[in-house]
Amino acid sequence: MSNDFSVVGPKIYATIHTGIPILGDINITETLVVSWIVMAIITGLCIFLTRDLKTENISKKQAFAEMLVEMGNNFVRNNTGGNKFDKLIPFVSALFATSVISNLISLIGLRSPTADLSTEAAWAVVVFIMITSTKIKANGVGGYLKGFTTPIAVMTPFNILSELATPVSMACRHFGNILSGVVIDGLIYWALGLASAALFGLLPGAVGKFLSNIPILGVGIPAITGVYFDWFSGCMQAFIFCMLTVMYIANAAEEG
């Protein structure tokens, strides 16, 4: 067991050289691979849940699927106040499902795709584009641009800043929480490994040497801390991200 502790970024499995100047090479990283696994899980779950649907005498599986759909519908409708944004329901649901499964997949030892800023940045930029397009749709291009000069023209730079801060804060909030979970989980495992090495190293001879290489104390305690850092934080951040998405878009439509 090493005495150094480090948190590394996602592994790069393969690199495809593209030669495109700014974009650079395509790196097939852990983030992408696990993202695809997550997508496969979600899609597989959807297909599994919606097999042989019935109108009467439904199975528990179908009841659960219906509950999920109703939850998605109600989440968007309650937060936007009406059926105006029903188009958003699959998007928000996809965002939520991907986020939750990505956050929780670290529980089975894979690296969360959400522990990579690129993922959250991608989502946040999509949301930002949606917010902006909703604003432009609601107020027209002129109205949208004029919105930056309210309440007085001097405020324009700050308004632009606050507008840009939206996606940045959304991305960084989610990323920071998940990364902190990764870091803390890593730290706990590292510390427990050190502790068990120190504890069992007290035993004499080969037994002590053998046992001190196994982080025995690492069994159990991380599961308890994981309740907060993985389960709670993971679900909470997904919820917050989706909630903000819906709220921002609903607000954007109301302005002006």
Partner 1 sequence: MQLQALMMFAADAEKTQELVTLVPWTFILQIINLFIQMYLIKRFLFKPINNILEKRKELADKEIREAREAKEEADSLKDQYESSLTNAHAEAAQIVSEAQKEAQSKADALVKEAQQEATDIKARAAADIEQEKKKAINEAKDEIGGLAMDIAGKVVEKEINEADHKKLIEDFISKVGA
Binding site for partner 1 (CB under 8 A): 3-12, 18, 22-27, 29, 31-32, 35-36, 39, 42-43, 46-47, 49-50, 53-56, 62, 65-66, 68-69, 72, 89-91, 93-95, 97-98, 113, 116-119, 121-123, 125-126, 175, 179, 183, 187
CA distances, 158 to each of 147, 249, 253 (Å): 12, 20, 21
Q: How far is the CB of 155 from partner 1 (least distance, A)?
A: 29
Between 63 and 203, name the residue whose CB sits nearer to partner 1.
Answer: 63
Between 119 and 212, name the residue whose CB sits nearer to partner 1.
Answer: 119
| Crossing angle between the packed helical segments 156-200 and 117-146, to the nearest 10 degrees | 170
Cα 145 to chain centroid distance, Å, stands at 31
Q: How far is the CB of 158 from partner 1 (least distance, A)?
A: 25
The torsion angles phi and psi of 27, rounded to 5 degrees, stand at: -105, 120
- Euclidean distance between CA atoms 85 and 251, whole angstroms: 12
Between 3 and 147, name the residue whose CB sits nearer to partner 1.
Answer: 3
Q: How far is the CB of 210 from partner 1 (least distance, A)?
A: 25
- The answer to whether 16 and 28 have CB atoms below 8 angstroms apart is yes
- Euclidean distance between CA atoms 194 and 41, whole angstroms: 35
- Euclidean distance between CA atoms 85 and 244, whole angstroms: 14
- Euclidean distance between CA atoms 120 and 113, whole angstroms: 9
What's the burial of 254, exposed, middle or buried (CB within 10 Å: 0-12/13-18/19+)? Answer: exposed
Between 195 and 253, name the residue whose CB sits nearer to partner 1.
Answer: 195
Between 37 and 139, name the residue whose CB sits nearer to partner 1.
Answer: 37
Q: How far is the CB of 217 from partner 1 (least distance, A)?
A: 16
- Euclidean distance between CA atoms 136 and 143, whole angstroms: 7
Q: How far is the CB of 85 from partner 1 (least distance, A)?
A: 14
Q: How far is the CB of 65 from partner 1 (least distance, A)?
A: 6
Q: How far is the CB of 143 from partner 1 (least distance, A)?
A: 27
- The answer to whether 155 and 149 have CB atoms below 8 angstroms apart is yes
